[in-house]
């Protein structure tokens, strides 16, 4: 068998020399793409692209990002001129699933009756997001439920930080030390390493008096222990107290660890003299990561604007969307706030794509590199009069708004509410006008492009 294969290669080699390369014949055939986004302004910070280019997709992957790809080379062509085309956004602070769930839910002795914390994962697609990272809604005990009910069924890619609290977030057990088993946490991460990218600590003993069990750093220390055992970053939601200062937290954080909610009211980002706290620069120099995690209670312009003016911008932009959060609305809303403060568009895109990809150690995400999954956002930058709000019920006026217009995940058009990729209904093919009479009837759709 081995000899026969060797012989076959020898024959091909001889024929190649005599007749010319068979691959040359393949190269002469026009390449055929499934989808071509034509005429958009491509911003792909990972590849230093910031100009008008066409983007071609084949079999769910990015196939070409070039100038003037002929329209006849693609099965479907979408005119995206006057729009921006970027890698799909990565929102590393999102909440899906139930969260801390009581055992024996329907019995009187259930230990809590918390409402669900998470929102539908696929809502993220409405603002150009193709990857969300659940920020510790589930812990070791509740992760499998979240995975089977939400993560495995979502169209958007869902990754997760695992809560150091085994029961997860919001179920009433976030102050229970017996819930913070760093070995169980690390074992769960190891088992689901394809999904879990880090550890989360949050909401630990924010105002109750300390006692023998509840010492100031218990939750943070155990999260770091789990992160070290599993070799993943820790994401911190934190509340400083006199015995547990902000500066001490920043010193405890390891390089690559992520401080989310950086512009929340409880952090002394801006000191009394109006200068930015030097502890931030010291932490950043050691490799500590700063993330927005806007949420219902973690973004104040009074911190964000002076910090921005002094050159401090968080490494990643994220929403912290959950069921208590409908004023934040979306990733494009949070990104628009940074445009309003004066950040250039390409920088805002960088902090929503390649940066968060690096933070969660998934460098294959957040780019339009050829061969990677075709996760693409098509965006419009609208000029006009807009206002953006913070969590202190104050607002900022602005003249731009970034809006997600179309979202593509692995080559599938999952969000296109204005029909950029669709034909006028009157020009649709005949089967669109038919009512399906039998199970095997052709679908009454204007095209066959995958959209779900
Ligand atoms: Zn959160």
| pLDDT per position as a tens digit, 387-443 | 999 999 999 999 999 999 999 999 999 999 999 999 999 999 999 998 877 777 888
Which of 18-27, 104-113, 229-238, 334-343 has the weakest average pLDDT?
A: 18-27
Give me the pLDDT at residue 3, please. Answer: 43
User: What average pLDDT does the segment 201-213 reach?
Assistant: 93
| Banded model confidence at residue 21, pLDDT cuts 50, 70, 90 | very low
How many angstroms separate the alpha carbon of residue 202 from the centre of ligand 1? 8
| Predicted confidence (pLDDT) per residue in 101-153, tens digit | 766 566 666 656 677 899 999 999 999 999 999 999 999 999 999 999 999 99
336 CA to centre of ligand 1 in angstroms = 20
Q: Among residues 341, 411, 330, 270, which one has the least CA distance to residue 128? A: 330
pLDDT of residue 17: 45
Joined together, the tokens standing for residue 71 give: 């329209």
Distance (angstroms) between ligand 1 centre and the Cα of 425 equals 42
Average pLDDT, whole number, for the chain?
91
Ligand 1 geometric centre to CA of 185 (Å): 19
pLDDT (0 to 100) of residue 124? 97
Ligand 1 centre distance from Cα of residue 297 (Å):
10
Q: For 143-196, how does the pLDDT look when each residue is reduced to its tens digit (9 = 90+)?
A: 999 999 999 999 999 999 999 999 999 888 899 999 999 999 999 999 999 999
Q: If you measure from the C-alpha of residue 70 to the centroid of ligand 1, how many angstroms do you get, rounded to a whole number?
A: 45
As a whole-number percent, the residues of the chain with pLDDT over 70 amount to 90
Average pLDDT over residues 254-269: 97
pLDDT of residue 5: 43
Q: Over the Cα atoms of the chain, what is R_g?
A: 25
- Give the pLDDT score at 329: 74
How many whole angstroms from 198 Cα to the centroid of ligand 1?
A: 14
**By the 8 A CB rule, do 158 and 195 touch?**
yes
Contacts of 303 (CB under 8 A, 6+ apart): 262, 263, 264, 265, 267, 269, 270
pLDDT (tens digit, 9 = 90+) per residue, 38-75?
A: 999 999 999 999 999 999 999 999 999 999 999 999 99
Q: Which of 269-278, 317-326, 442-451 has the highest mean pLDDT?
A: 269-278
Instruction: Please tell me the distance between residue 84's alpha carbon and the centre of ligand 1 in angstroms.
Output: 29
| Selection from 38, 82, 76, 41 nearest residue 58 by Cα | 76
Q: What confidence score (pLDDT) does residue 25 get?
A: 46
Residues with a beta carbon under 5 angstroms from ion ligand 1: 135, 320
Q: How far is the CA of 118 from the centre of ligand 1 (A)?
A: 10
pLDDT confidence band for 14 (50 / 70 / 90): very low
Which region holds residue 364: left if phi is over 0, alpha if psi is between -120 and 50, else beta?
A: alpha
Least confident piece of the model among 311-320, 327-336, 341-350, 431-440 = 431-440
CA 409 to ligand 1 center in whole angstroms: 24
pLDDT value, residue 447: 95
What is the whole-number distance in angstroms between the Cα of residue 136 and the centre of ligand 1?
Answer: 7
Residue 74 CA to ligand 1 center (angstroms) comes to 41
CA of 226 from ligand 1 middle (Å) equals 19
C-alpha of residue 106 to centroid of ligand 1, in Å: 27
User: What is the 127 CA–ligand 1 centroid distance (Å)?
Assistant: 18
CA-CA distance, 175 to 324, in Å (whole number)? 21
Contacting residues for 214 by C-beta, under 8 A, at least 6 apart: 175, 177, 205, 208
pLDDT (tens digit, 9 = 90+) per residue, 227-247?
A: 999 999 999 999 999 999 999
Q: For residue 442, what pLDDT is reported?
A: 84
| Gap from CA of 235 to ligand 1 centroid (Å) | 10
């Amino acid at each position: 068998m081995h000899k026969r294969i060797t012989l076959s290669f020898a024959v091909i080699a001889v024929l190649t020399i005599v007749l010319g390369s068979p691959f040359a014949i393949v190269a002469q055939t026009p390449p055929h793409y499934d989808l071509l986004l034509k005429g958009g302004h491509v911003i792909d910070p990972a590849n230093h692209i910031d100009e008008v280019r066409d983007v071609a997709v084949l079999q769910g992957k990015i196939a070409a990002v070039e100038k003037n790809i002929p329209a006849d080379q693609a099965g479907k062509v979408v005119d995206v001129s006057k729009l921006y085309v970027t890698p799909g956004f990565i929102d590393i602070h999102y909440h899906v699933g139930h969260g801390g769930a009581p055992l024996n839910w329907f019995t009187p002795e259930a230990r809590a009756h918390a409402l669900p914390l998470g929102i539908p994962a696929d809502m993220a697609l409405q603002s150009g997001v193709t990857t969300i990272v659940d920020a510790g809604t589930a812990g070791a005990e509740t992760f499998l439920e979240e995975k089977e009910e939400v993560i495995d069924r979502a169209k958007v890619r869902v990754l997760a930080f695992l809560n150091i609290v085994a029961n997860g977030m919001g179920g009433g057990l976030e102050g229970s030390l017996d819930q913070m088993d760093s070995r169980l946490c690390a074992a769960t991460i190891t088992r689901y390493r394809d999904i879990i990218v880090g550890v989360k600590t949050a909401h630990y003993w924010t105002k109750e008096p300390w006692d023998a069990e509840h010492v100031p750093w218990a939750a943070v220390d155990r999260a770091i222990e789990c992160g070290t055992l599993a070799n993943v970053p820790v994401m911190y939601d934190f509340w400083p107290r006199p015995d547990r200062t902000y500066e001490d937290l920043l010193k405890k954080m390891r390089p690559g660890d992520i401080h989310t909610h950086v512009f929340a009211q409880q952090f002394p980002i801006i000191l009394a003299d109006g200068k930015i706290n030097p502890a931030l620069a010291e932490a950043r120099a050691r490799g500590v990561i700063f993330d927005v995690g806007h949420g219902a209670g973690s973004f104040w312009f009074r911190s964000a604007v002076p910090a921005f003016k002094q050159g401090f911008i968080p490494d990643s932009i994220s929403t912290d969307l959950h069921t208590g959060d409908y004023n934040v609305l979306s990733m494009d809303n949070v990104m628009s706030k940074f445009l309003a403060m004066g950040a250039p568009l390409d920088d805002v895109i960088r902090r929503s794509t390649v940066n968060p990809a690096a933070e969660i150690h998934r460098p294959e995400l957040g780019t339009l590199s050829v061969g990677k999954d075709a996760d693409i956002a098509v965006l419009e930058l609208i000029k006009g009069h807009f206002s953006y709000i913070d969590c202190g019920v104050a607002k900022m006026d602005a003249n731009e708004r970034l809006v997600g217009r179309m979202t593509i995940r692995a080559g599938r058009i999952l969000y296109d509410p204005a029909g950029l990729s669709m034909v006028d209904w009157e020009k649709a093919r005949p089967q669109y006008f038919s009512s399906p009479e039998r199970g095997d009837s052709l679908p009454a759709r204007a095209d066959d492009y995958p959209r779900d």
